[in-house]
Chains A and B, each alone.
Chain A
């Protein structure tokens, strides 16, 4: 069964450093998403991406964040200058299309620890 994959599974970085989280969505999917979950809290939407551009972003997704689909398979989330509060689990998700009943498929997540 096709699945969304994410790398790395765990990333440790120093405050102020840049990190890139990588995702490979399911191959025929058109909509891509990033969510984050701070430990002990609920999953929060960050950004959605379609047709090579951001379709929606939340208040959390400020100028330090950016997303990119550098090739036909990868979907990346870049955090330019990490802060302690960026420590969280980051989930990538993809959907086949915007159809009313289509499911979002989530990746296993990348745990980001900012020291």
Chain B
């Protein structure tokens, strides 16, 4: 397994449903960030959660962090077709670089 692994790899839901994506990592971290990427486009920063935080909200997004389990989850509530994208978690540790997971591809059907 690699640092920053998301599951599921792919998720397909109906508009209005909630989407939950998980990320696991191996080593200690300073913070964890979630990004969205539309096909072939740049990275859009969603949320940063610090290692001393357990939960964070931003609009329809809710991120949790469990450092004891080395895992994080991203919940998107009341999903919209425009939420269709790939979602990546990236961990940041003392090494000074971000390590990205493989990503979850979310498809929201209208």
Picked from B48, B92, B100, the residue with its CB within 8 Å of the CB of A43 is B100
Q: How large is the interface on B (under 10, 10 to 19, 20 to 34, 35 or more residues)?
A: 20 to 34
Which residue on chain A has the smallest CB distance to residue B44? A106
Contact B43 A91 (CB under 8 A): yes
Contact A108 B97 (CB under 8 A): no
Does B40 have its Cβ within 8 Å of any Cβ on chain A?
Answer: yes
Contact B100 A42 (CB under 8 A): yes
Picked from A33, A43, A100, the residue with its CB within 8 Å of the CB of B43 is A43
For chain A, residues 1 to 50, give those with C-beta under 8 angstroms from any C-beta of chain B. Answer: 31, 33, 35, 39, 41-45, 48, 50
Query: How many whole Å from A29's CB to the nearest CB in chain B?
Result: 13
Report the count of interface residues on A (CB-CB < 8 A): 27
Contact A45 B97 (CB under 8 A): yes
Does B21 have its Cβ within 8 Å of any Cβ on chain A?
Answer: no
Contact B42 A104 (CB under 8 A): no
Does B25 have its Cβ within 8 Å of any Cβ on chain A?
Answer: no
Which residue on chain B has the smallest CB distance to residue A110? B42
Contact B42 A43 (CB under 8 A): no
**Residues of B contacting A104 with CB < 8 Å?**
33, 90, 92, 98
Contact A43 B97 (CB under 8 A): no
CA distance A50 to B95 in the complex (A): 13
Given known A56-B96, A56-B97, A104-B98, contact A43–B40 (CB-CB < 8 A): no
Query: How many whole Å from B106's CB to the nearest CB in chain A?
Result: 16
Contact A100 B103 (CB under 8 A): no
Q: Which among B97, B99, B103 has the greatest number of chain A C-beta atoms within 10 A?
A: B97
Q: Measuring CB to CB, which residues of chain A are less than 8 angstroms from any residue of chain B?
A: 31, 33, 35, 39, 41-45, 48, 50, 55-56, 89, 91, 93, 98, 100-101, 103-109, 111
